[in-house]
Amino acid sequence: MTHRVLIADDEAGMRLLLRKAIEKHPGFAVCAQAQNGEEALELFEKQRPDVVFLDVEMPVLDGIETARRLQDTSPDTPIVFVTA
């Protein structure tokens, strides 16, 4: 089984590093990438990933508020906070 992953980070370089690190592990594949929390919520609804990686500090909607909203709609989805 492949676990589908959503990455949300406002820095393109960090999204690339996370994607490469995640895809080195068998069983994980990045299904979507977002630049901010609002975009992450939209992509979550469309893609329904199994795991979400969130940057804490993002424009529009930060990672903490994004996580709260994700947990309201999908409380069983694991969320991993990442920050530089």
The predicted structure's pLDDT at residue 84: 73
What residue has token string 């977002």?
34
CA angle 48, 18, 62 (to 5 degrees): 65
* Amino acid in the structure at residue 5: V
Structure tokens at 27: 């069983």
pLDDT tens, position by position, 39-51: 999 999 999 999 9
What residue has token string 């994980």?
28
pLDDT tens, position by position, 50-74: 999 999 999 999 999 999 999 999 9
